[in-house]
A and B are shown apart, each in its own frame.
Chain A
Protein backbone atom coordinates (compact mmCIF):
# COMPACT_ATOMS: atom_id res chain seq x y z
CA UNK A 1 0.00 0.00 0.00
CA UNK A 2 1.48 3.41 -0.97
CA UNK A 3 0.59 4.98 2.39
CA UNK A 4 1.70 4.59 6.02
CA UNK A 5 -0.46 5.62 8.97
CA UNK A 6 0.27 6.90 12.46
CA UNK A 7 -2.72 7.49 14.74
CA UNK A 8 -2.65 9.56 17.92
CA UNK A 9 -5.97 9.74 19.76
CA UNK A 10 -8.38 11.49 17.37
CA UNK A 11 -5.70 12.67 14.98
CA UNK A 12 -4.23 10.79 12.05
CA UNK A 13 -0.99 11.29 10.14
CA UNK A 14 -0.75 9.74 6.70
CA UNK A 15 2.65 9.36 5.04
CA UNK A 16 2.26 9.21 1.26
CA UNK A 17 4.99 7.16 -0.40
CA UNK A 18 6.70 6.78 -3.77
CA UNK A 19 5.75 8.44 -7.04
CA UNK A 20 2.24 9.88 -7.32
CA UNK A 21 1.08 9.81 -10.92
CA UNK A 22 -2.04 8.70 -12.81
CA UNK A 23 -0.82 5.07 -12.69
CA UNK A 24 -0.72 4.99 -8.89
CA UNK A 25 -3.28 7.64 -7.93
CA UNK A 26 -6.38 5.43 -8.07
CA UNK A 27 -4.86 2.86 -5.69
CA UNK A 28 -3.68 5.59 -3.33
CA UNK A 29 -7.14 7.21 -3.31
CA UNK A 30 -8.87 3.94 -2.52
CA UNK A 31 -6.39 3.18 0.27
CA UNK A 32 -6.89 6.68 1.73
CA UNK A 33 -10.71 6.44 1.43
CA UNK A 34 -10.69 3.16 3.31
CA UNK A 35 -8.14 4.01 6.01
CA UNK A 36 -9.21 7.60 6.70
CA UNK A 37 -12.93 6.71 6.79
CA UNK A 38 -12.27 3.83 9.19
CA UNK A 39 -10.54 6.21 11.64
CA UNK A 40 -12.58 9.38 11.00
CA UNK A 41 -9.86 11.72 12.35
CA UNK A 42 -10.52 15.19 13.76
CA UNK A 43 -7.25 16.41 12.31
CA UNK A 44 -5.74 14.75 9.26
CA UNK A 45 -2.07 15.46 8.57
CA UNK A 46 -0.70 14.41 5.21
CA UNK A 47 3.09 14.08 5.35
CA UNK A 48 4.79 14.07 1.95
CA UNK A 49 8.46 13.57 2.93
CA UNK A 50 8.51 10.12 1.32
CA UNK A 51 7.14 11.29 -2.04
CA UNK A 52 9.78 11.09 -4.79
CA UNK A 53 7.67 12.60 -7.55
CA UNK A 54 4.18 14.02 -7.95
CA UNK A 55 2.24 15.32 -10.96
CA UNK A 56 -1.28 16.78 -11.10
CA UNK A 57 -2.68 13.40 -10.03
CA UNK A 58 -1.51 14.33 -6.52
CA UNK A 59 -3.77 17.40 -6.56
CA UNK A 60 -6.82 15.18 -7.06
CA UNK A 61 -5.64 12.85 -4.26
CA UNK A 62 -5.25 15.70 -1.76
CA UNK A 63 -8.47 17.49 -2.79
CA UNK A 64 -10.39 14.29 -2.21
CA UNK A 65 -9.02 14.02 1.35
CA UNK A 66 -9.70 17.70 1.96
CA UNK A 67 -13.34 17.40 0.79
CA UNK A 68 -13.84 14.40 3.04
CA UNK A 69 -12.55 16.33 6.07
CA UNK A 70 -14.72 19.35 5.18
CA UNK A 71 -17.82 17.16 4.93
CA UNK A 72 -17.18 15.44 8.26
CA UNK A 73 -16.22 18.60 10.18
CA UNK A 74 -12.56 17.71 10.47
CA UNK A 75 -9.45 19.64 9.45
CA UNK A 76 -6.53 18.84 7.22
CA UNK A 77 -3.01 20.10 6.71
CA UNK A 78 -0.08 19.05 4.56
CA UNK A 79 3.55 19.04 5.71
CA UNK A 80 7.08 18.23 4.51
CA UNK A 81 6.28 18.88 0.86
CA UNK A 82 9.33 18.18 -1.36
CA UNK A 83 10.39 21.00 -3.72
CA UNK A 84 9.12 19.32 -6.89
CA UNK A 85 5.67 18.64 -5.45
CA UNK A 86 5.58 22.15 -4.00
CA UNK A 87 5.96 23.62 -7.50
CA UNK A 88 2.99 21.56 -8.69
CA UNK A 89 0.83 22.76 -5.77
CA UNK A 90 1.86 26.37 -6.39
CA UNK A 91 1.08 26.18 -10.14
CA UNK A 92 -2.36 24.81 -9.29
CA UNK A 93 -2.98 27.33 -6.47
CA UNK A 94 -3.66 24.50 -4.03
CA UNK A 95 -1.98 26.31 -1.12
CA UNK A 96 -4.92 28.75 -1.18
CA UNK A 97 -7.27 25.88 -0.32
CA UNK A 98 -5.30 23.41 1.81
CA UNK A 99 -3.01 24.67 4.62
CA UNK A 100 0.61 23.68 4.03
CA UNK A 101 3.37 23.95 6.61
CA UNK A 102 6.73 25.68 5.99
Chain B
Protein backbone atom coordinates (compact mmCIF):
# COMPACT_ATOMS: atom_id res chain seq x y z
CA UNK B 1 0.00 0.00 0.00
CA UNK B 2 1.48 3.30 -1.10
CA UNK B 3 1.43 6.07 1.48
CA UNK B 4 -0.72 9.12 0.72
CA UNK B 5 1.27 12.24 1.57
CA UNK B 6 -1.34 14.86 0.70
CA UNK B 7 -4.89 14.92 -0.59
CA UNK B 8 -7.57 17.35 -1.74
CA UNK B 9 -11.06 16.73 -3.06
CA UNK B 10 -13.16 19.01 -5.19
CA UNK B 11 -16.83 18.59 -6.13
CA UNK B 12 -18.47 20.56 -8.91
CA UNK B 13 -21.50 20.34 -11.25
CA UNK B 14 -20.85 18.97 -14.74
CA UNK B 15 -20.82 22.38 -16.44
CA UNK B 16 -18.32 22.77 -19.26
CA UNK B 17 -17.16 26.08 -17.77
CA UNK B 18 -15.62 24.00 -14.95
CA UNK B 19 -13.19 22.24 -17.31
CA UNK B 20 -10.60 25.02 -17.09
CA UNK B 21 -11.13 25.34 -13.32
CA UNK B 22 -10.55 21.60 -12.81
CA UNK B 23 -7.32 21.40 -14.83
CA UNK B 24 -5.92 24.59 -13.30
CA UNK B 25 -6.67 23.29 -9.79
CA UNK B 26 -5.01 19.94 -10.55
CA UNK B 27 -1.92 21.73 -11.86
CA UNK B 28 -1.76 23.97 -8.75
CA UNK B 29 -1.94 20.91 -6.48
CA UNK B 30 0.71 19.05 -8.50
CA UNK B 31 3.03 22.08 -8.27
CA UNK B 32 4.22 20.95 -4.80
CA UNK B 33 6.18 18.16 -6.57
CA UNK B 34 8.17 20.79 -8.48
CA UNK B 35 7.23 19.52 -11.95
CA UNK B 36 8.67 20.90 -15.18
CA UNK B 37 6.43 23.02 -17.40
CA UNK B 38 6.10 20.02 -19.70
CA UNK B 39 4.96 17.75 -16.85
CA UNK B 40 2.46 20.39 -15.70
CA UNK B 41 1.15 20.69 -19.26
CA UNK B 42 0.74 16.92 -19.46
CA UNK B 43 -1.25 16.89 -16.21
CA UNK B 44 -3.49 19.77 -17.31
CA UNK B 45 -4.18 18.08 -20.63
CA UNK B 46 -4.94 14.64 -19.15
CA UNK B 47 -7.23 16.13 -16.47
CA UNK B 48 -9.00 18.20 -19.10
CA UNK B 49 -9.70 15.02 -21.09
CA UNK B 50 -10.98 13.04 -18.10
CA UNK B 51 -13.20 15.86 -16.81
CA UNK B 52 -14.56 16.56 -20.31
CA UNK B 53 -15.52 12.88 -20.63
CA UNK B 54 -17.51 13.11 -17.38
CA UNK B 55 -19.22 16.32 -18.49
CA UNK B 56 -20.04 15.20 -22.05
CA UNK B 57 -20.70 11.48 -21.66
CA UNK B 58 -21.58 10.68 -18.03
CA UNK B 59 -24.37 13.25 -17.78
CA UNK B 60 -25.65 13.71 -21.35
CA UNK B 61 -29.06 15.13 -20.40
CA UNK B 62 -28.75 16.72 -16.98
CA UNK B 63 -26.11 18.18 -14.69
CA UNK B 64 -24.51 15.80 -12.21
CA UNK B 65 -21.70 15.92 -9.69
CA UNK B 66 -18.09 15.41 -10.76
CA UNK B 67 -15.59 14.59 -8.00
CA UNK B 68 -11.95 15.42 -8.57
CA UNK B 69 -9.66 13.80 -6.02
CA UNK B 70 -6.03 14.89 -6.04
CA UNK B 71 -3.28 13.03 -4.22
CA UNK B 72 0.45 13.09 -3.71
CA UNK B 73 1.74 9.55 -3.22
CA UNK B 74 5.06 8.36 -1.87
CA UNK B 75 7.86 8.42 -4.43
CA UNK B 76 6.91 11.72 -6.08
CA UNK B 77 3.74 10.41 -7.70
CA UNK B 78 0.83 12.68 -8.56
CA UNK B 79 -2.55 10.93 -8.69
CA UNK B 80 -5.86 12.33 -9.87
CA UNK B 81 -9.18 10.55 -10.00
CA UNK B 82 -12.27 11.86 -11.78
CA UNK B 83 -15.47 10.27 -10.57
CA UNK B 84 -19.04 10.62 -11.76
CA UNK B 85 -22.36 8.95 -10.98
CA UNK B 86 -23.52 9.07 -14.56
CA UNK B 87 -24.54 6.59 -17.24
CA UNK B 88 -21.35 4.51 -17.17
CA UNK B 89 -19.39 3.04 -20.09
CA UNK B 90 -20.79 -0.27 -21.43
CA UNK B 91 -17.51 -1.29 -23.11
CA UNK B 92 -14.42 0.31 -21.55
CA UNK B 93 -11.95 -1.42 -23.90
CA UNK B 94 -13.76 -0.01 -26.91
CA UNK B 95 -14.05 3.47 -25.36
CA UNK B 96 -10.27 3.55 -24.91
CA UNK B 97 -9.56 2.92 -28.61
CA UNK B 98 -8.17 5.86 -30.61
CA UNK B 99 -10.82 7.76 -32.64
CA UNK B 100 -13.71 5.99 -30.90
CA UNK B 101 -16.33 8.51 -29.80
CA UNK B 102 -20.04 8.60 -29.12
CA UNK B 103 -19.88 12.40 -29.15
CA UNK B 104 -20.67 14.82 -31.97
CA UNK B 105 -18.25 16.18 -34.57
CA UNK B 106 -16.65 18.51 -32.06
CA UNK B 107 -15.11 15.48 -30.31
CA UNK B 108 -11.99 13.81 -31.73
CA UNK B 109 -12.15 10.44 -29.94
CA UNK B 110 -8.56 10.93 -28.77
CA UNK B 111 -9.19 11.63 -25.08
CA UNK B 112 -8.08 8.28 -23.68
CA UNK B 113 -5.15 8.10 -26.12
CA UNK B 114 -3.91 11.42 -24.74
CA UNK B 115 -4.43 10.38 -21.11
CA UNK B 116 -2.45 7.20 -21.81
CA UNK B 117 0.43 8.93 -23.56
CA UNK B 118 0.76 11.80 -21.04
CA UNK B 119 0.34 9.85 -17.80
CA UNK B 120 2.22 6.78 -16.52
CA UNK B 121 -0.85 4.83 -15.42
CA UNK B 122 -4.54 4.97 -16.38
CA UNK B 123 -7.31 2.95 -14.76
CA UNK B 124 -10.96 3.07 -15.79
CA UNK B 125 -13.66 1.55 -13.58
CA UNK B 126 -17.20 1.80 -14.88
CA UNK B 127 -20.60 0.29 -14.19
CA UNK B 128 -23.48 1.08 -16.57
CA UNK B 129 -26.10 3.09 -14.69
CA UNK B 130 -23.79 3.63 -11.71
CA UNK B 131 -20.93 5.77 -12.96
CA UNK B 132 -17.29 5.89 -13.92
CA UNK B 133 -14.03 6.56 -12.12
CA UNK B 134 -10.90 7.35 -14.11
CA UNK B 135 -7.66 7.35 -12.12
CA UNK B 136 -4.43 8.73 -13.55
CA UNK B 137 -0.92 8.71 -12.11
CA UNK B 138 2.26 10.42 -13.14
CA UNK B 139 5.63 10.23 -11.46
CA UNK B 140 7.28 13.62 -11.32
CA UNK B 141 10.99 13.33 -11.97
CA UNK B 142 13.02 14.81 -9.08
CA UNK B 143 15.07 17.80 -10.13
CA UNK B 144 18.42 19.05 -8.83
CA UNK B 145 17.92 21.12 -5.69
CA UNK B 146 14.23 20.38 -5.48
CA UNK B 147 12.94 19.85 -1.93
CA UNK B 148 10.89 16.73 -1.71
User: Is the pairing of A and B real?
Assistant: yes
Per a CB cutoff under 8 Å, which of A21, A26, A56 touches B108?
A: A56
Known: A19-B20, A22-B55, A55-B111. 8 other contacts (CB 8 A): A22-B52, A59-B108, A60-B108, A63-B108, A64-B105, A83-B37, A87-B41, A91-B113
Q: How far is the CA of A82 from the CA of B111 in the complex (A)?
A: 19
Q: Which 7 A-B pairs have the closest CB atoms?
A: A84-B41, A23-B16, A59-B108, A55-B48, A91-B117, A60-B108, A56-B110
Structural contact, A84 and B19, CB atoms closer than 8 A: no
- Which of chain A's residues 34-56 have a Cβ closer than 8 Å to chain B? 53-56
**Which residues of chain B are near A25, meaning CB under 8 Å?**
106
Count residues on chain B whose CB falls below 8 Å from chain A CBs.
27
A26 vs B105: C-alpha distance when bound (angstroms): 9
Residue of B nearest to A59 (CB): B108
8 Å CB interface, B31-59 against A: 37-38, 41-42, 44-45, 48-49, 52, 55-56
CB atoms of B19 and A92 under 8 A apart: no
With contacts A55-B49, A92-B110, A92-B114 taken as known, whether A21 is within 8 angstroms of B105 at the C-beta atoms is no
Contacts of B110 in A (CB 8 A): 56, 59, 91-92
Interface flag for A88 (CB, 8 Å): yes
B125 to chain A, nearest CB (A): 22
- A15 and B146 CA atoms in complex are apart in Å by 38
Q: Are B106 and A87 in contact (CB under 8 A)?
A: no
The residue in chain B whose Cβ has the minimal distance to the Cβ of A90 is B117
Q: Contact: A55 with B117, CB < 8 Å?
A: no
